[in-house]
């Protein structure tokens, strides 16, 4: 039976066609998939094609598809589609073949429009001696070939003496080879790169394309489509993440792990994508009990309601109904609410620093009990409550006296702790009178209900997205919900994006990830230029790895390039708002949809102020709130706070009002140096997260005095 595969480049090419031709291409592909041997498909040889197996096929009188039809095996690979002359030109300038060392099918340009300086071989030695050391001077030709570099490109690659020169070769190299070489320049150990980009096979048949399509390196760019998947692929070519997983993602997703896994990765590296595909894979490979009474599911959880809603939407895009029936998606707080309600919980659950007036009154009564001998700010007591009392589940004076206060900048002796306890004791008493429980206590109550009722683990597996935002109580609860077994817990996160100041050490929550910590390094969302600006906001900040170690961000790269982000300062708010509206008008006139433009601000009031000015300029706006995912069917410029854009992405992004009184937020008051430092880190992380939502363009604006976070 013939096998038909589609390259990701073919889907990209479809998007560049007029709408009428897109429809014709879809019709052709459906026909082609059913019978590539049909007499109605007119294969034409391309005499000067880079690969002799390339053929053209007729889409209509003006458009042609380019197909690889190898001599051996009944395999057909759809590579490109374009206007007749442009399609033939593409075939002349692009190579598609199996790499003899990695076994992956590589598709790359043999010619590029980028002016790549390639000295003659006899000139290279002179350049090396008189100017600079070649970028890959420490690696042999064999080593470069072994990580995927085609032999015919060795000289061009060796001519590079700087990273910026090498980056200009991106369109001339196969994607996998470019990535592998880039990682080497970033200081990633060669053996680690070799392991990520090579096959275990010792003898690769460079004519066996069917075998090559099954290798991990090929699946990042090619997919064999069956009748069920074909229409789904053609209907949404923009969402290529549904089909094409990077090998580094696939290695995490499609395997049996012998315990909990933690996956780190910078913004845009596809952590959520990997987690979503992991859920689908588990739904098809998990040891499910199909009996009605004991049917266990997969729990997919995250920190906020917005992200949970977005995850549900994306799962529906890649999973069939049978798979979806095996997956539950809840943000962690919603899961706690539901569980306790089912178990007749008698308390109202509240959150620290939320808008519940009764809780605020309880806290104020606690502060009113503060002894005059303790000259500490109200914020000191708030942090002491959150980071010491709640973190350790302290319920008595005796427990507090013995409690560890690691990470607190202000020391308290025994007498001072006895005095401070008056505040917390009164607050606990008031909460009890009002029948209130804070969420961390509610999570502990969930554990007590589970133990008292001898409830067995409730899930087959648990997946956690945005794992850096979960606290200790959440992880302790999750550990109890799933048995310790293979494929039990899969966590993705990034300490650089922690905006809720919840820190955790997984090992102390019973989640042992030793030997199962992995990292994603390639940023798929933002350009390298945007990534560098976003990373600079966190320069010099030490970030944890969720398990008492450190994450240095080494090897975090974006392989896309674009315009430099703009960082602009204006004398006043109106000048800034006018400039933003002017750029929105320019983007819209150039063809950008308003729904693909977002203006982000630090606070609700500031967001609403920009929204008002955008409306006055004649543009509709759509405010992204905390009550669910964004509705893409509603037009209008998106406006949001920095907290609300987490997990989202936009073609064009404005981060507005980055003033010195907004970042860091001046409402924070503390004399504790550690509290001040942690507050600044979380504020920097918030700006970092906001910037990394940008896909094509980023503009950062301020008025008056700009935030010091923007200063070099």
Model pLDDT for residues 426-453, shown as the tens digit of each residue: 999 999 999 999 999 999 999 999 999 9
Encoded tokens for 327: 């997956």
Quick check: 186 pLDDT over 70? yes
Give CA–CA dist 311/326, Å, rounded.
Answer: 15
Q: Are 139 and 190 in contact (CB under 8 A)?
A: yes
pTM: 0.86
| Secondary-structure percent of the chain, ordered helix, strand, coil, rounded to 5 | 45, 15, 40
What does the mean pLDDT of the chain come to? 89
Q: Are 570 and 583 in contact (CB under 8 A)?
A: no
Quick check: 164 pLDDT over 50? yes
Matching residue, tokens 């961000």: 553
**Percent residues over pLDDT 70 in the chain:** 92
Encoded tokens for 255: 């395997």
Query: Which of helix, strand or coil describes residue 301?
Result: strand
Quick check: 406 pLDDT over 90? no
pLDDT for 116: 45
Matching residue, tokens 């708010």: 573
Encoded tokens for 179: 């990535």
When mean pLDDT is compared across 72-76, 284-288, 620-624, the lowest value belongs to: 284-288
Query: Is domain 247-337+465-520 given the CATH code 3.30.1120.130 in the classification?
Result: no
Encoded tokens for 355: 């808008």
pLDDT for 248: 85
Go through 252-265 and write b for each residue having 16 or more CB atoms within 10 A of its CB, e for each that does not. Answer: bbeeebebbbbbbb
- pLDDT band for position 627 (50/70/90)? low
pLDDT for 361: 93
Model pLDDT for residues 337-366, shown as the tens digit of each residue: 999 999 999 999 998 666 678 999 999 999
- pLDDT band for position 672 (50/70/90)? confident
More confident call, 217 vs 225: 217
Model pLDDT for residues 46-78, shown as the tens digit of each residue: 989 999 999 999 999 999 999 999 988 889 999
- Looking only at the bridges linking them, the beta strands covering 261-265 and 637-641 are unpaired
Encoded tokens for 505: 């050490």
Query: Which of helix, strand or coil describes residue 164?
Result: helix
Quick check: 115 pLDDT over 60? no
Encoded tokens for 655: 């981060």
More confident call, 247 vs 645: 645
- Domain ranges in the chain are 3-104+208-242, 109-197, 247-337+465-520, 348-434, 561-710
Encoded tokens for 647: 């997990």
pLDDT for 623: 94
Quick check: 113 pLDDT over 70? no
Q: Are 96 and 72 in contact (CB under 8 A)?
A: no
Encoded tokens for 462: 């648990």
Give CA–CA dist 183/556, Å, rounded.
Answer: 9
Using alpha carbons, select from 702, 663, 698 the residue that is nearest to residue 576.
702
pLDDT for 387: 87
Give CA–CA dist 212/209, Å, rounded.
Answer: 5
- pLDDT band for position 5 (50/70/90)? very high
Q: Are 544 and 503 in contact (CB under 8 A)?
A: yes
* DSSP, res 99: -
Encoded tokens for 50: 């880079």
- pLDDT band for position 117 (50/70/90)? very low
* DSSP, res 214: T
Q: Are 337 and 394 in contact (CB under 8 A)?
A: no
Give CA–CA dist 281/323, Å, rounded.
Answer: 9
Encoded tokens for 10: 């073919």
pLDDT for 131: 55
Q: Calculate Rg over the CA atoms of the chain.
A: 28
CATH class of this structure's domain 561-710: alpha beta
pLDDT for 513: 97
pLDDT for 72: 85
Quick check: 124 pLDDT over 50? no
- pLDDT band for position 195 (50/70/90)? confident
Query: Is domain 3-104+208-242 given the CATH code 3.30.2310.20 in the classification?
Result: yes
Q: Does this chain's domain 247-337+465-520 share its CATH topology with 561-710?
A: yes
pLDDT for 59: 94
Query: Which of helix, strand or coil describes residue 562?
Result: coil
Query: Which of helix, strand or coil describes residue 83?
Result: strand
More confident call, 600 vs 553: 600
């Amino acid at each position: 039976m013939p096998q038909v595969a589609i390259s990701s480049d073919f889907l990209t090419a479809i998007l560049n066609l007029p709408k009428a031709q897109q429809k014709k291409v879809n019709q052709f592909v459906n026909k082609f998939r059913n019978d590539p041997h049909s007499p109605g498909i007119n294969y034409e040889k391309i005499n000067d094609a880079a690969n002799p197996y390339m053929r053209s096929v007729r889409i209509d009188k003006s458009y042609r598809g380019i197909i690889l039809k190898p001599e051996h095996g009944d395999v057909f690979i759809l590579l490109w589609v374009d206007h007749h002359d442009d399609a033939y030109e593409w075939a002349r300038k692009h190579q598609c073949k199996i790499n003899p060392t990695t076994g992956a099918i590589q598709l790359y340009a043999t010619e590029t429009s980028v002016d790549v300086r390639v000295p003659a071989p006899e000139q290279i030695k002179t350049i090396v001696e008189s100017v600079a050391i070649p970028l890959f001077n420490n690696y042999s030709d064999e080593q470069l070939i072994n990580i995927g570099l085609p032999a015919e490109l060795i000289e061009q690659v060796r001519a590079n003496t700087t990273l910026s020169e090498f980056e200009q070769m991106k369109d001339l190299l196969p994607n996998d080879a470019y990535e592998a070489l880039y990682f080497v320049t970033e200081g990633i150990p060669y053996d680690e790169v070799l392991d990520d980009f090579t096959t275990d096979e010792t003898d690769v048949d460079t004519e066996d394309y069917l075998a090559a399509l099954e290798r991990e390196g090929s699946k990042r760019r090619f997919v064999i489509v069956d009748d069920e998947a074909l229409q789904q692929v053609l209907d949404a070519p923009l969402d290529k993440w549904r089909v094409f997983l990077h090998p580094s993602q696939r290695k995490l997703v499609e395997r049996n792990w012998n315990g909990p896994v933690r996956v780190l990765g910078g913004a845009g590296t596809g952590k959520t994508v990997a987690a979503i595909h992991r859920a689908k894979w588990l739904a098809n490979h998990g040891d499910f009990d199909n009996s009605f009474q004991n049917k266990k599911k997969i729990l997919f959880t995250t920190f906020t309601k917005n992200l949970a809603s977005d995850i549900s939407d994306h799962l529906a895009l890649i999973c069939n109904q049978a798979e979806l029936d095996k997956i539950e998606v809840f943000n962690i707080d919603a899961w706690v609410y539901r569980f306790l309600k089912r178990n007749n919980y008698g308390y109202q659950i509240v959150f620290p620093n939320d808008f519940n007036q009764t809780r605020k009154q309880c806290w104020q009564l606690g502060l009113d009990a503060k002894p005059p001998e303790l000259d500490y700010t109200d914020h000191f007591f708030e942090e002491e409550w959150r980071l010491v009392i709640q973190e350790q589940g302290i319920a008595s004076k005796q427990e507090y006296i013995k409690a560890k206060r690691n990470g607190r900048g202000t020391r308290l002796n025994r007498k001072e702790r006895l005095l401070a306890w008056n505040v917390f004791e009164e607050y606990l008493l008031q909460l009890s009178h009002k029948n209130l429980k804070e969420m961390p206590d509610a999570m502990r109550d969930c554990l007590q209900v589970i133990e008292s009722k001898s409830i067995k683990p409730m899930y087959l597996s648990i997946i956690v997205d945005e794992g850096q935002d979960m606290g200790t109580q959440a992880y302790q609860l999750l550990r109890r919900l799933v048995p310790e077994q293979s494929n039990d817990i899969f966590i993705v996160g990034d300490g650089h994006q922690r905006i809720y100041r919840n820190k955790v050490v997984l090992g102390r929550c019973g989640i042992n990830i030793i030997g199962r910590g992995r990292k994603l390094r390639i940023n798929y969302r933002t350009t390298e230029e945007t990534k560098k600006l976003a990373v600079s906001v966190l320069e010099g900040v030490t970030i944890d790895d969720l398990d008492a170690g450190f994450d240095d961000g080494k090897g975090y790269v974006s392989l896309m390039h674009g315009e430099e982000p703009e960082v602009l300062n204006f004398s006043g708010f109106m000048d800034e708002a006018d400039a933003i509206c002017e750029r929105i008008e320019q983007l819209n006139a150039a063809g950008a949809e308003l729904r693909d433009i977002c203006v982000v601000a630090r606070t609700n009031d500031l967001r609403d102020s920009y929204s008002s000015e955008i409306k006055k300029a004649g543009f509709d706006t759509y405010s992204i709130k905390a009550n669910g995912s964004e509705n893409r069917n509603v037009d209008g410029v998106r406006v949001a706070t920095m907290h609300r854009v987490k997990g989202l992405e936009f073609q064009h992004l404005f981060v507005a009002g980055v003033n010195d009184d907004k970042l860091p937020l001046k409402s924070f008051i503390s004399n504790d140096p550690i509290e001040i430092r942690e507050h600044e880190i979380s504020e920097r992380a918030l700006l970092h997260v906001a910037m990394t939502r940008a896909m094509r363009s980023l503009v950062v604006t301020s008025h008056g005095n700009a935030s010091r976070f923007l200063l070099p």
